[in-house]
Structure 1
Amino acid sequence: MAFTPMPARLDTERFVLTPEEPSDVPWLAELFAARGAGAVTPDQAWQRMVAAHERTRPHGIGVYVLRPRDGTAPVGYVGLVVGRCTVEEPELAYELLPAAHGRGSATEAARAILDAAFATGRDRIWATLRESNAASLRVLAKLGGFAVRRVTADERGRVLWHVREQDA
């Protein structure tokens, strides 16, 4: 099935959401390092960004940078990825710099992404989260309509597979 591409820009009350660009590499390196797996160089961040674009752009999906309307530095990203899911039923992904946690930014931006994703003709969006990721579980609860469909496990623990249908 063919889907309409996601728009190049989405607007929320506090953010302008646009795709990643080369100038985002420094803060992306900081964000990737904040995951706790060690330092990430700008070159490594660039390579990750390019690889992600190659996997998603041909399908009209991808991640958007949360660019505050007040002109301050970006605070994170949100978007649709293939990840553990498929192009037809992509995965909602979001990640914020630690200083931006707890302000409702991920929820605000994810709501815009979900609306745009369903407008592409998709009927189902997934979100896979580790059972221990309380902050991301709260985001899904605030968005509403997500239900755990299955549970898997890997070497790092249980993964909850949440799904949201368009009519939720």
Structure 2
Amino acid sequence: MIYTHRLIMRPLTLADAPFMLQLLNDNSFIRNIGDRGVRSEAEAAAYLTAGPLASYQQYGFGLRAIELQQGGQLIGICGLIQRETLDAPDLGYALLPDYTGQGYALEAAKAAVQWAVALDLAQLYAVVSMENDASKRLLAKLGFRNQGVINWQQEEVLLYQLLLPTS
């Protein structure tokens, strides 16, 4: 468990499939991250099994559920994702629309960066769609630097990098 001022970041479980179905089909998720083709709770459970749950087993990290400390409402996901196409994990996050613009994404992302430091990672990446100005601002606040345009899943996106202090 990771605790911040207002949030709890915990490992995702199969019980989170209904929430993931909602998040993965949110218009802003599809626009900024992509359509994962998940249309049922069973597909959401399969997505969790093949993604975050497998990542926990293989790498010891992955996306986590973001809950509000007050009330326990599940509002999004944030964490570290190891992709085959990158030589270091990337920071990923997504919130339901009702919870954007309130500093939750920045709070969770800061905690994820601290987690990466605790794991003694040397660097993190972030992949951002060209039009996602909110994420570009958030990454700049965290100290990420724009590394330029890359081709990602048949689309041009921006790659950001953050060098981390190592022990």
Q: Same fold (TM over 0.5)?
A: yes
Alignment of 1:129-168 (within 5 A): 129-143=128-142, 145-153=143-151, 157-167=155-165
Q: For 1:34-70, what per-residue CA distance to the aligned partner results, in whole angstroms no more than 9, with x for missing partners?
A: 1344772111111100001214432111111111111
Task: Give the fraction of aligned pairs with identical amino acids, expressed as a percent.
Answer: 28
TM-fit CA distance, 1:136: 1.3
Q: In the alignment, which residue of structure 2 is the partner of 1:50? A: 49
Tell me which moved more, 37-46 or 10-19. 37-46
Partner of 1:114: 113
Cα drift, residue 153 of structure 1: 3.3
Q: Does 1:69 align with 2:65?
A: no
Instruction: Give the TM-score of the pair, scaled to structure 2.
Output: 0.85
Which is worse superposed, 120-129 or 32-41?
32-41
Pairs aligned (count): 156
Query: Does the 8 Å contact 1:56/1:82 carry over to 2?
Result: no
SS of alignment partner, residue 98 of structure 2: helix
Task: Extract unaligned runs of 5+ from structure 1.
Answer: 1-8
Partner amino acid for 2:67? R
Question: 1:155: Cα distance to partner?
Answer: 7.5
Match of 1:92 in 2: 91
Distance of aligned partners of 1:155 and 1:72 in 2 relative to their CA distance in 1, 3 Å threshold: closer
| Ranges in structure 2 where 5+ consecutive residues have no aligned partner | none
TM-score with structure 1 setting the length: 0.85
